[in-house]
Structure formats: structure tokens, C-alpha cells
Amino acid sequence: MGEVCRQGPTEAENVVTSRSGVWWAADHPDRRVPGTLVRAGSTWSLNLVGTLLPLEAHGGAVSLVSPMTIYGMCLGTRCTLAPAYLSGQQEPGKRYAVPRDERAADDDQHSQVWTAHSFLEGDALPNDALFHGASLELTGLSAWWPLSGFGRRRIDPSEVRGYEPPESTVADCGNGLTITIWASLRETSGWNRYHSVVERVCMQVVSDTGLTLTQLQEQVIMPLRSLLAIISHRRVECFNLRLRPLDDNYPDQARFGYPIAVDPGMIDGEAEVAADRPGERPTFTADDTDFRSFIPAWLALAKVNSLPISAAEARHASGVLQTEVVEVVNAAETLHRTTHSEPSDYPLADKVLDILKESERTSRKERNTVYSAVKMTQLRLETRLLQLAEGLGEEFCTWFFQSGAKDWAFVASAIRNALSHGDPTKHRLEHDAEALVGVLRVTQAVIQLRLLVAAGLPHGDPLKALVERDPMFVAVRNQTVANWPALAATMR
């Protein structure tokens, strides 16, 4: 993201305002109640005067009410909350303070609070509504896609009038799904001689057969958000998401290409500015790979690696250290299973099975149980971790692990097994905070890089050249909290 001029605050402010109107449940369209929708932290909170459901439907048991879709109409615009969860309810006590003749016949003396993670403004749409296209922005996308004059050199204000946007890039992801990235200028000005021009990078997703919002988020947005989070080492947000319904008869479709706004007004300006700090760059950019092949490969990889990608993504807050170690090593094991072929034969397991068949004291079920258990141990976790790292290339492994890849795999597998199975150990490294931090950070880096290589990033020396420019990966490579040969020696 480049600029001609910037003055004043550098962080965009949330422009979310409350929305008041009438609301109704999908199953009870005639039961409409007034209420106000506000943004509360990372969720939307709908405060109603009345109840969306008949009172006998839930009997006051808030936790037992199933999530549902809520429709609304605010200032003449239809909107949707989905899925919405009943998070609070108040109702009159047994003794009324008002005379009987003043009591209302309806339920306006009741109130409900519903919470939702997604708010759509523009229409009342069911959960299975299909969308033909979407336009969106991702924090950090501008830094990853530097194919622009603004991103390469300082621009003189006199050049803005002659600005020509760079050619958009289109990736065919198969099954009628295409992703396009382009850049354009956005200008703002004020009466006090303030004028700013910013080049913003945007993304368009088009599906010939249509995608639900959930499918769009899970199959496209979340994988791309995770990709940018991995290479920028910070949390990435999606904003300015707008949708185009898959309906040729949708009103004003020609005039309003993307009439449905998702979570309007929620712009993470701080994260966007942080993603483009001077002197910082992602692990690699679109210039370092073929966007048209890398993005489809990444989306396909994400379909079968949700756990590894989740473990690889940068996070705001940390959890319990032991739990995180188990999670990240398990994710590495899962990634090995999806990127490597399993053994075609199991000689030890077959030998054990033959011995058991000769015994009349074991049933077929018992023999199969033992056979499966022996098969699982034939390719040990230590071997899986080592093979996963070796997929980064021999030259890279020698440099990154400083010839200690085997010791890392041995220590990481032993600590994971001790934490998962709860068996006491003599070395007690599962209680050593420094060893746990080393396993966590190094294993997470291996997952991150192995995912990128599996999607098309080069391995070996070319990968080393990219990683050497990334301060975060270099810091992991130079870590001193875990000496793998020394730790391995204490465990043997």
C-alpha cells in the first residue's frame, strides 16, 4: 500500500453505528419485535423488546435454545443475523407493579439478547443462499502483492493524475472458481488542505455454481487469511466483504454489483497499517512465485489440512504451553500423513498376525486390534517429523537445524508422547518450559514452511534465500532455549 500524502491519524476508526428496527425469526415471520443491533467486541449483539420465539418454546432455558437465523429491517434495509444464539432473557416477576388494566396483552415486558458472529446488510437471506461473487480486502494483502508502481518507489503528487493501475492477476482454481487481485486508488480530502491518495489492493472471488457464505469463508477466505498470517507473522482480518447473490433476477444487480455487505463498518485499520510497516516484508511476495498456480494449490492443500493450517497461523493470545505443544506436534503428524505416502507393507505387523493366528486363544477381533496397533507404531512419530522437515530440502535442513534435525524430531516426539499419554519419564523434559517453547516454535515453523513448499514455494537453497530475509524465521533458527543434541542426550 503506497501513499502520496498522509496527515493526521494513521489508524482507521470503526464506523459501526447501532441499527434499530424490527426483527423476526425465520420460523416465525409474523412475530416481529423491535430491537437495536450493536457491535460488542468481536460479535454483534441484538437487544430486543419482546421475544422472537413463543415463550413456551424454551421455558427460560437459554442454553437449550438452538441457534437460528434472524431477519430484520432497519431504516428501510433488510438484514440478516446468522447464526444467532440466545444469550440473555428477562421477564416480569410473579408480582406486577402496574395495575392489571394497564398490563399489555403482548410480550413487550419481556426482553431478549441474541449474539451473532456474522451480520449481512442488504437482504434477508437463508443460510443456504448461494452467492455468485464476492469482493473483499485482507490486511497484509497489499504487502504480499507488490505488483504496483506505488509499492516500488516514491510517487510525486503530480504523477497521480496519470496513474494507471497494474494489470489484474487471475487464478483459475478449478470447478468454476476464479480469484482475481487488482489495485486501485482511493482518495480522501478535507477542507484544511488535506489530500491523501492510497493504493488499495482488493480481491474478487467468482463461482459459476455459487457458494454459500459458510463455504466462501471456509474454502477461500480462511485459507487465504491463514496464508497471509503465516508469511506476515501476525493475525490477518477480512474486511469490506460484499456479496453478489446467484440470482439472475436479483433487483438492481446491474447497478449494484455487490449489494450485500458483510459486517459493514468493521475495518481493522490498525492491522492494515501494521501489515505495511516500513522495512518489513512478508516471507515471500507474489513476485517470488506463480500466483496463478500457487493460490489454487494452496486452497486444495487447505481442504485436507485444516488442523496444520490452524496450528501454523499466527495468534494474538497464547494458551497453556503444554497444550499448545501437543497441538502443534499433532498438527505436524497430520501434515506428514497428507503430504507423504503411507507404507505399502507392514512386515512386523504381518509377522505378529501370523503368530496370533496360530493361537486358538485369540479371537479375530483381538487379532485385528493387535495388528492395527502394531501398524501404527511401525512408522514412528519421530520418523514422521524428520521426514516432514526433510521435505524442505537437505541444504535448508542443514542450515535451519544446524545439523540437529534428527535430535529435534526425537525430542519433540518424546515430549509429545509424554504429555499425551501421561506416562512418567526420568528426564522430565515435558515439564521443562524452555524445551517446550523450543519444540513449539521450531515445530510451528516447520509446519509453516512445509505447507508453503507443498503449495509451490521452492525448497532447498532457494527456500533458504527467502527465509534468510525473514527476521522471525531467522530468530527461530537462532533460538537458544533448546539445544537439541544436549536434550536428546538426556533422554537416551
What is the model's pLDDT at position 4?
32
- How many residues in the chain? 492
Strand partners, 43: 40
Cβ atoms 118, 213 nearer than 8 A: yes
Q: Which residue, among 420, 352, 355, 348, has the nearest Cα to 381 in the 3D structure?
A: 420
- Distance (Å, whole) CA 235 – CA 313: 8
What is the model's pLDDT at position 275?
45
For residue 329 the three cell numbers come to: 506436534
DSSP code string of 128-184: T--EEEEEEEETTHHHH---SSTTTSPPPGGGGGG--PPPPEEEE-STTEEEEEEEE
Q: How far, CA to CA in Å, does 101 sit from each of 79, 96, 104?
A: 37, 11, 8
Cβ atoms 389, 405 nearer than 8 A: yes
- Distance (Å, whole) CA 49 – CA 320: 41
The alpha carbon of residue 228 and the mean position of all alpha carbons in its chain are separated, in whole angstroms, by: 10
What is the model's pLDDT at position 189?
72
- Distance (Å, whole) CA 260 – CA 245: 8
For residue 492 the three cell numbers come to: 537416551
Phi/psi for 274 (5° steps) reads -65, -30
Strand partners, 233: none
**Interior angle at CA 479, CA 451 and CA 428, nearest 5:** 95
Q: What is the pLDDT along the chain (492 residues), one digit of tens a residue?
A: 333 333 333 333 455 678 999 999 988 888 899 999 999 888 999 999 988 876 555 555 565 678 899 999 999 999 999 899 998 888 776 666 666 666 565 667 788 999 999 999 999 999 999 999 999 999 889 889 876 655 555 556 566 666 677 788 999 999 999 999 988 777 777 777 766 777 788 999 999 999 999 999 999 999 999 999 999 998 888 999 999 998 866 665 545 589 999 999 876 544 454 445 555 689 999 889 998 999 999 999 999 999 999 999 876 566 799 999 999 999 999 999 999 876 656 666 667 666 777 777 787 777 777 767 666 666 789 999 999 999 999 999 999 999 899 999 999 999 999 999 888 888 999 999 999 999 999 999 999 999 999 999 999 999 999 999 999 999 999 999 999 999 999 987
Strands 19-25, 68-74: pairing is antiparallel
